[in-house]
Amino acid sequence: MNRVLEYGLAIVIAGGVGYWMLADRIGADDAIPVAEQSAAAGRPGQGQQQGGTRSALVTLEQAVTRPYATEYQAIGSIEAVARVAVQSDVSGRVDQIAFTPGTAVNKGDALLHLDQRSEELNLASAQAQLAEVTATLARLERLATSSTSVSTVQLDEAHTAVELARVEADRAEFELQRRVIKAPLSGQVGLTDLVAGSYVNAGSDIVTISALDRVKVSFALPEGATEVLEPGASVRVTLPSRPGQVLWAEVSAIATEIDPGTRLIEVEALMDNAAAGLTHGMIAEIYLRAERPALPSIPAVAVMWGRDGASVFVAEDGIARRVPVTIASRVDDMVWVHADLKQGDKIVVEGAHKLQEGGRVMTADAATRAEGEPGQLAATTTSVPAASARQVAATATSTAVGRDD
């Protein structure tokens, strides 16, 4: 029994040695050509392997040099060019209200009559006194021409009495006129709480008059706007209370100082109001547009921020170059930058996070064309023993799958 087992084991060992020698001989005579790993591994979306350097798949857009505009925005208010709170100089009871709230009045129109009976009596008394001393002066002057009984001193005293009486009469008339409150300017009168019989104290407000044929827009802008702010500049005005309505005003006054707390500068602009019908105190949105010289414009998504500030990648002959940028303006999804860029430079807008200075880049279209043209991929063949052919194929397959992840 043991002898049978020994014979069987010897046969198995001999067969194994013979199979190994035969396979080695066949492998030496039979070489199988395979593509390099770089050719088998090329896949769009994962870059290409050339000379051991991986190309990042990116999206490019060209820089365009063109002018742009800076627009400053502010919230302001509509104000009457002239607006006066009419006050009474004297105290008294209201005898008559001579205006209708909300209507227009002219300068000098009577607004309010206060009780004036006492002032009328004072005026009558002063006028009577003036008449008396005037008659006395006339009599003395007649006597002085016909006789020497009237002295020069008497005549001088009579003249003085007349002047004093005239002053008193003028004062009484002035006090009487003060009982009538008049409009100091033309405009639209506001509301009042007074009625006939109300008592008015000296210095109390009676009504407000606003001149609204022209209005001013008061607002404040950042100090950067001082570069383009000048009298006569046009500003666009819109009102939240009137959607869709666009008005234009002209800068009329600019403050000489910037507020140290807010860093804003006060501005006033004038505009006609005959057709607009704006009211004092309305909220307005103001836009000042300043045209700027041409600068490179690029998509905002291309800008990357790092420790050294903002930058973009420029693709030059398939190589990424980092270019520092300073943003000058942004409109929607485009930015204008101060940078070493020129018209037509290819800016990386997608995939920049995968890049480093000097890294290789490739677009999706270029990767697709390279895959379709064998000459574009380094498909160098090498001879590999047949015993290792399956290992090479397995290695290439594994690499390609890894790039699809």
- Judged by DSSP in three states, 378 sits in coil
Q: What is the CATH architecture of 72-78+214-292?
A: Beta Barrel (2.40)
For tokens 């860093």, the residue is: 263
- Whole-prediction pTM: 0.58
Q: How many CB atoms lie within 10 A of CB 186?
A: 15
- The residues, ordered by sequence, that sit 6+ positions from 296 with a Cβ below 8 Å of its Cβ are 63, 64, 65, 336, 337, 339, 341, 342, 343, 345
- Token representation of residue 199: 């008592």
In this chain, the answer to whether the domains covering 72-78+214-292 and 82-205 adopt an identical fold is: no
- Judged by DSSP in three states, 290 sits in strand
- CA 37 – CA 382 distance, rounded (Å): 11
Q: Integer distance in angstroms from the first to the last C-alpha of the chain? A: 60
Q: In the prediction, which pLDDT does 59 show?
A: 87
- CA 225 – CA 289 distance, rounded (Å): 10
Q: Give me the sheet containing 199-200, strands edge to edge.
A: 180-182, 110-114, 92-97, 199-200
Q: In the prediction, which pLDDT does 308 show?
A: 87
**Averaged pLDDT in 10-residue chunks for the chain of 405 residues:** 55 57 44 34 41 71 90 94 93 94 94 94 94 92 80 89 95 94 94 93 94 94 90 94 94 94 96 90 94 92 91 91 92 92 92 85 70 46 35 33 35
Produce one character per residue of 188-201: b if its CB has 16 or more CB atoms within 10 Å, e if not: bbeebebeeeeebe
Label residue 157 exposed, middle or buried (CB < 10 Å: 0-12, 13-18, 19+): middle
- The residues, ordered by sequence, that sit 6+ positions from 337 with a Cβ below 8 Å of its Cβ are 295, 296, 297, 298, 303, 310, 312, 325, 326, 327, 328
Q: In the prediction, which pLDDT does 10 show?
A: 59
Q: Please tell us whether the domain made up of 82-205 is placed in CATH 2.40.50.100.
A: yes
Domain ranges of the chain: 32-51+378-404, 72-78+214-292, 82-205
Q: DSSP string covering 63-123, please? A: -EEEEEEEEEEEEEEEEEEEEEEEE-SS-EEEEEE---TTSEE-TT-EEEEE--HHHHHHH
From its phi and psi, is residue 20 left (phi > 0), alpha (psi between -120 and 50) or beta?
Answer: alpha
Within 152-205, residue ranges assigned H as helices are: 152-177
Pairing of strands 180-182, 110-114: antiparallel
